[in-house]
Structure 1
Amino acid sequence: MSNSKYIDSLINKDDITQFRELYGQNSELLHQQTIRYTRTLSRFKEIFGEKEVSFFSSPGRTEIGGNHTDHNHGRVLASAVNLDNIAVAAKNNSNIIRIESSDYPSFEVDLNHLIPQENEFLTSNALVRGINARLKELGYTIGGFDAVINGGVPKGSGLSSSASFEVLIGAIVSHLFNEGNIDPIVIARIGQYAENVFFGKPCGLMDQVACSVGGLVMIDFEDITNPVVKKVDFNFESTGFSLVITDTRGDHTNLNDEYAVLPKEMKEVAAHLGCSVLRETTLKKIMDIAPSIRKKVGDRAILRAIHFECENDRVADQVAALENNDFAKFLQLVVDSGHSSYMYNQNIYVPDNIQEQAVSLGLAYSELVLKDAGAWRVHGGGFAGTIQAFVPENLLEKYTATLNHLFGADACHPLFIRQKGAVKLDF
């Protein structure tokens, strides 16, 4: 179908079933998405001309449970959300990938050169090159294509815009050159590989799996080379709650040391028990050995180890609560997770800068509004950044107004859990 016909069909048909699956039931938001897609398509036409095109969407993700458990081979509970990156893409019958993005400078990747380029570290070019290199290694077909990408996963929001981008590229290659037959878990693994090897950043697999698979997923990293991924069957929309991510707008700079020392301290405790990671031991063994290692590893390390063991079990309990349709139990477990991160894991503020505690303040305001009615916790790595809350419909306006008053306009992002991962849309 030509670009012009696509544009006409989109403009004249706001009520697209697939849009409701991806973006919800709000008619105004659906209309905004129609405008977004048509503008992206128009931009494609301006740059690349009339072609047979396809539309793609890849969601952001949120961490529901399992705060700082993956790096010690624990469990996590994550979900796709309705903020997404979209692309209009078409084959170009060459060995060059050409990408224009609303968020980054345009770039090209030559598929004749599929080895890491040091000058590309930490760039989108590196991710695209790495994804295609790994796909080729695994025997999949790759090829040149043109794409215009519109980013709807805010960078720095804690919703993993990078993983969303990675699986978006994987989905494009899957559908344009492999009849859509590349498994979503494979696409996730390839995204992780590209980020580790070509992009130059160590990362786990949680973000990519959540974006690629969609819905609620529990990932068990006990076997780090072959993590178990389980999709959790639960209709979040039926609860009447909104998932709200709030950007506390804290300073993200100079946090690398804080992020690095946290798993290091956990592993130091594990080492004293003859283990490489905490997943290999138990809470009882940690408590038994704690008196003899306090001066060696420090009390904070022991507290963080306690957090890991309790949080790892809590993820399994959260999944069981959802599968048993016990949403009240699930909400209490979310609150328990937040308290554990605050008291034991201690990733809420930077200890040498106690004057800045944006996350702490956001959690305090959340509790004041939502106590006995919802749930709240730190989201992601912590120390700065975002918090997460489950907010009942009757408190949504009050909650967002309160947090926006504290952190500024548009700090809050009311979301819902999206059942679809990275997909090709069929109009």
Structure 2
Amino acid sequence: MTIYELISKINSGELDNTFGRLYGTDTNTILSQHIRYLSAAENFSKLYPDCDDIQVFSASGRTEIGGNHTDHQNGCVIAAAVNLDIIAIVSFNEDGIIRFSSAEAPECTVKTDELSVNESEKGTTESLIRGVMAGFAGNGVKTDGMNIYADSAIPVGSGLSSSAAFEILIGTIINSHCNGCGTDVTELAQIGQYAENVYFGKASGLMDQLVSAMGGFSFIDLEDVNDPITEKVEFDFSRAGYTICITNTGSSHADLSADYSAISNEMKHVANELGCEVLREINEEEFYEKLPALKKVCTDRELLRAMHFFDENERAALEAQALRNGDTEE
């Protein structure tokens, strides 16, 4: 598809069904996406005027419904993709370079044959691109050069997992163009998590990446984190009278990575004291039986966080069952 063809399809309304499926069907929403995609097409053309053969990609943010801070302990979660996403217009090159530009930041470049962790670039866009490429390389997939212009509707630090959406966006582009879509959503999510943990330098569970990769409303059981159980929850929330409202509070958790990591580390400390790696491996009754001994080696906050895990993990599973039964009162 050429830039001209994309613009023509937007202006003619040919893409309105796609926009409706992704963002909602009301007229103002559709028109806002016309403006957004036309702006992205114009900016791509200005940056890469000689690159007219393009593809368009999208990856969504996510909201957490149930299972707060359970995923990094291999627990159960309920979460949903949202209609705030990152879109990308992409052309491919033979330069061996990924050029990435966005409405939010100037162009950065990453060579496709330089895949080692770079400590000086942790926390940057470059680190995530490099990490995703490295994840695919570990599966024998070589990334081609590409020119990317992106526009994100996901506020950074808003709790909607903009980093996971970005990882899934880059992963989807590589998977589609360089791998014949041979990587499934679980592997794609694991590659994104690897990029975030190792290259970007931030701890995370697997929920964010899985939900962005899967789309829709999902129940996820991470007891076997290498082969998680994923289930689309088919429930019509609008017919039941429910709507998820996302509010921009004007704040950010972008500078709270250390606090997030502390939650995971403190839960794991409790698990380690009981001879396990994560809390999911521990029987809840055993935890409470050994609580007097644990008080001698764990802080009160660590123990309260462990209690939170057991309660929240059970709650997520019960919520999923209630939704399967169509029981919103439960």
Letter in 1 for 2:122: F
* Corresponding position: 1:279 with 2:280: yes
Q: CA–CA distance in 2 between the matches of 1:26 and 1:238?
A: 17
1:63 is displaced (CA, Å) by: 1.0
Percent of aligned positions with the same letter in both sequences?
Answer: 40
* Corresponding position: 1:24 with 2:24: yes
Letter in 1 for 2:247: T
Residue 75 to residue 40, structure 1, CA distance change in 2 (3 Å): same
Aligned-pair Cα RMSD in Å = 2.2
* Corresponding position: 1:84 with 2:91: no
TM-score (norm 2): 0.91
User: Which residue in the other structure is 1:37 paired with?
Assistant: 37
1:13 is displaced (CA, Å) by: 1.1
Q: CA–CA distance in 1 between the matches of 2:303 and 2:44?
A: 54
Residue 284 to residue 165, structure 1, CA distance change in 2 (3 Å): same
1:102 is displaced (CA, Å) by: 0.9
Does the Cα contact within 8 Å between 2:220 and 2:228 map onto a contact in 1? Answer: yes
User: Which residue in the other structure is 2:73 paired with?
Assistant: 72
Number of residues of Structure 1 aligned to a counterpart in Structure 2? 329
Residue 32 to residue 255, structure 1, CA distance change in 2 (3 Å): closer
Does the Cα contact within 8 Å between 1:188 and 1:205 map onto a contact in 2? Answer: yes
Residue 4 to residue 328, structure 1, CA distance change in 2 (3 Å): same
Alignment of 1:189-228 (within 5 A): 189-228=190-229
1:85 is displaced (CA, Å) by: 0.4
The runs of 5 or more residues in structure 2 that have no matched partner are: none
User: Which residue in the other structure is 1:184 paired with?
Assistant: 185
Task: Identify the range of structure 1 (265-274 vs 83-92) with the bigger mean alpha-carbon deviation.
Answer: 265-274
User: Which residue in the other structure is 1:303 paired with?
Assistant: 304
1:68 is displaced (CA, Å) by: 1.3
1:4 is displaced (CA, Å) by: 1.8
Q: CA–CA distance in 1 between the matches of 2:76 and 2:91?
A: 38
Letter in 2 for 1:4: Y
* Corresponding position: 1:114 with 2:95: no
1:254 is displaced (CA, Å) by: 6.6
User: Which residue in the other structure is 2:320 paired with?
Assistant: 319
Highest RCO, 1 vs 2 (Cα 8 Å, sep ≥ 6): 1
* Corresponding position: 1:6 with 2:15: no
1:181 is displaced (CA, Å) by: 3.4
Residue 214 to residue 256, structure 1, CA distance change in 2 (3 Å): closer
* Corresponding position: 1:174 with 2:168: no
Letter in 1 for 2:95: S
Residue 114 to residue 262, structure 1, CA distance change in 2 (3 Å): closer
Residue 289 to residue 101, structure 1, CA distance change in 2 (3 Å): same
1:180 is displaced (CA, Å) by: 3.1
User: Which residue in the other structure is 2:157 paired with?
Assistant: 156
Q: CA–CA distance in 1 between the matches of 2:127 and 2:299?
A: 40
User: Which residue in the other structure is 1:99 paired with?
Assistant: 100
1:100 is displaced (CA, Å) by: 1.1
Moved over 6 A (4+): none
Q: CA–CA distance in 2 between the matches of 1:257 and 1:115?
A: 24
Letter in 2 for 1:123: T
1:83 is displaced (CA, Å) by: 0.3
The runs of 5 or more residues in structure 1 that have no matched partner are: 330-427
Does the Cα contact within 8 Å between 1:15 and 1:30 map onto a contact in 2? Answer: no
Does the Cα contact within 8 Å between 1:14 and 1:30 map onto a contact in 2? Answer: no
Does the Cα contact within 8 Å between 1:85 and 1:164 map onto a contact in 2? Answer: yes
